[in-house]
């Protein structure tokens, strides 16, 4: 069998990219990274001011971006925001479903109802609301590439992590299901699993000693940077990744390789 040359173009050439939770951390790094590669970025976040600031950083450096306040827990906010973005920028060809929260870890017996409901609402229902809107549009417009941000806790659990781990495992299930359902529509859907990354989600919850210990636990002996997650996302949504779908990619400094 003759091996054809594989598309190696990783430039995004004016494609419209929709990113949730893009006002800080990993989402912000994805917005900056995709804009740098030529995407027109819809920077969305529940915090309107944070989304605006990131869009301004992009446009100030010659990139193309606009901002929208979208709360992923609110299906109507997603549907209306997504439709407005497409009306203004054209069909979304790239999507990064990144918005997420973490709450204080507690052993299962002590998890309050409201923690469970909040984590499921943001980290799971939020991904579903966006993924459905994206698949509906991409199905009608010749396809696209989607990345869902899961976690290493989408593969394993740690003490006190049950609700967060449940949501992040389910994000991988949604990813596989969507990839199977919409492969025929030329829609690629992959999940990325960050390890411990130095963003406000992590830095705001732990002491300096604890952060040091979390970093030291990974084989690479440090926390990851949001840009290191964004680099993988940028590749997955590019044409260079044209035969990848329905897969989970860790970006965790080797954390999962430890197995314990």
Ligand X SMILES: NC(=O)c1ccc[n+]([C@@H]2O[C@H](COP(=O)([O-])OP(=O)(O)OC[C@H]3O[C@@H](n4cnc5c(N)ncnc54)[C@H](O)[C@@H]3O)[C@@H](O)[C@H]2O)c1
Q: Which is nearest to 93 in space by CA: 143, 129, 164?
A: 143
Q: Work out which of 16, 58, 122, 232 binds ligand X, going by CB under 6 A.
A: 122
Nearer to ligand X, 143 or 176 (CB): 176
* Under 8 Å between Cβ of 30 and 22: yes
Beta 40-45 vs 187-194: how paired, if at all? unpaired
**Shortest gap between Cβ of 209 and ligand X (angstroms)?**
17
218 binds ligand X per the rule CB under 6 A: no
> Is residue 24 involved in binding ligand X (CB under 6 A)?
yes
Residues 134-173: x where in contact with ligand X by CB under 6 A, - otherwise, as a string: ---------------x-x----------------------
* Least distance from ligand X to the Cβ atom of residue 40, Å: 20
Catalytic residues: 164
**Residue 97 phi, psi (nearest 5):** -90, 95
Cα–Cα distance between 162 and 140 in angstroms, integer?
37
Of 11-19, 196-204, 205-213, 242-250: span binding ligand X (CB under 6 A): 196-204
199, 234, 238, 245: which one contacts ligand X (CB under 6 A)? 199
Cα separation, 129 vs 11, whole angstroms: 28
Q: How do beta strands 144-149 and 92-97 pair?
A: parallel
| 3-state SS record for 75-144 | HHHHHHHHHHHHHHHCCEEEEEECCCCCCCCCCHHHCCHHHHHHHHHHHHHHHHHHHHHHHHHHHHCCCE
| Residues between 75 and 114 with contacts to ligand X, criterion CB under 6 A | 98-101
Q: Please identify, using beta-carbon distances, which residue of 62 and 204 lies nearer to ligand X.
A: 204
Question: Is 67 one of the binding residues for ligand X (CB under 6 A)?
Answer: no
Residues that bind ligand X (CB under 6 A): 20-21, 23-27, 45-47, 50, 70-73, 98-101, 122, 126, 149, 151, 194, 196-197, 199-202
């Amino acid at each position: 069998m003759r091996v054809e040359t594989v598309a190696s173009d990783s430039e995004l050439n004016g494609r419209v990219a929709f990113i949730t939770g893009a006002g800080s951390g990993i989402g912000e790094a994805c917005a900056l990274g995709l804009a740098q590669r030529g995407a027109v970025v819809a920077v969305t976040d529940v915090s309107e001011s944070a989304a605006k600031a990131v869009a301004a950083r992009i446009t100030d450096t010659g990139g193309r971006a606009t901002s929208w306040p979208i709360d992923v827990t609110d299906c109507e906010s997603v549907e209306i925001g997504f439709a407005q973005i497409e009306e203004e920028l054209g069909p979304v060809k790239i999507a990064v479903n990144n918005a997420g929260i973490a709450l204080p870890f507690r052993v299962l017996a002590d998890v309050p109802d409201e923690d469970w409901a909040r984590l499921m609402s943001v980290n799971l229902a939020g991904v579903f609301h966006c993924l459905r809107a994206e698949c509906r549009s991409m199905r009608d417009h010749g396809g696209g590439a989607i990345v869902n941000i899961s976690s290493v806790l989408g593969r394993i659990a740690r003490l006190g992590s049950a609700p967060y781990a449940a949501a992040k495992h389910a994000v991988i299930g949604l990813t596989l299901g969507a990839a199977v359902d919409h492969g025929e529509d030329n829609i690629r859907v992959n999940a990325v699993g960050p390890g411990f990354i130095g963003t406000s989600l992590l830095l705001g919850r732990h002491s300096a000693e604890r952060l040091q210990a979390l970093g030291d636990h990974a084989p690479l002996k440090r926390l990851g940077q949001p840009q290191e997650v964004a680099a993988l996302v940028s590749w997955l949504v590019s044409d260079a990744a044209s035969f990848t779908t329905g897969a989970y990619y860790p970006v965790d400094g080797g954390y999962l390789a430890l197995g314990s």
